[in-house]
Amino acid sequence: MNYLWRFTVGAIACMTACSPSGDDPDGRDAPSRATADSEQCDILTAADVQAVTGTSVERMDRNPAVGAGGTCVNFAGADGQVYLGVNRLNSTSEYRGTVGAVPEDVYPDKQALPGLGDEAVLFKGPGGVRFLVARKSTSGVVLFPLGKGYNMSDQQLRDLAAKALASGS
C-alpha cells in the first residue's frame, strides 16, 4: 500500500503541475509555472501547519521518491519524515482535472465539502489516506497528508485548505 500511495501521489502531483491550465491551452508555460510555484509558494507556511495541527514541521524539498510530491511545498515532521504535501492550482480546469484524476480504487470515499471555497472535495481511503482538493475563484489547493500526517483530523485538513485558499487568492 505504501508504494501504491507514493506512486499515486507522485502521478497526481506531476499531472497537476504539468497539465495545461485553462489560461494556457497549449500547456507551453505549465512546467515553468510549476517551477516558479515551488520556489515561491507560500500559501501555507510551517507556522500555519503547526498552528492548525499542533505538530512541529519544517519545509522540505520536493522528492517524490520519499513521498514529498507536493509541487508547491512539502512539510516534514521533527523526525524528518514527510508529513504533508501541497499543490497549488492555477485555474478551474486544473481543479476539475485533479478531481477527475483521483483514483477511486485508492480513495473510494468522496465527500463534497460545502462552505470551503467555491468547490471542495475530500477523498478518503483505507489506512487514513486522504486527498483534499479545493478551489476559490481560479485559485486552488491540493493537500495530501503522509506518514504521521495521517493522524491529522479531517477538520484540521479543512482548516489548512481554508488558510491556503485565503492566502492564495
Domains and CATH numbers, the chain: 2-168 (3.40.1000)
> What is the three-class DSSP state of 28?
coil
Whole-model pTM?
0.79
CA distance 166 to 132: 16
Residues 6+ positions from 98 with CB-CB distance below 8 Å: 12, 15, 16, 87, 89, 133, 140, 142
Instruction: Encode the chain (169 residues) as per-residue pLDDT tens digits.
Output: 444 444 444 444 434 443 434 443 333 333 333 333 445 688 999 999 999 999 999 999 999 988 899 999 999 999 999 999 999 999 999 999 999 999 999 999 999 999 999 999 999 999 889 999 999 999 999 999 999 999 999 999 999 999 999 986 5
CA distance 123 to 1: 16
What b/e readout covers 45-71, taking b as 16+ CB neighbours within 10 angstroms? ebebbeebbebebeebebebebbbbbb
Strand partners, 101: none
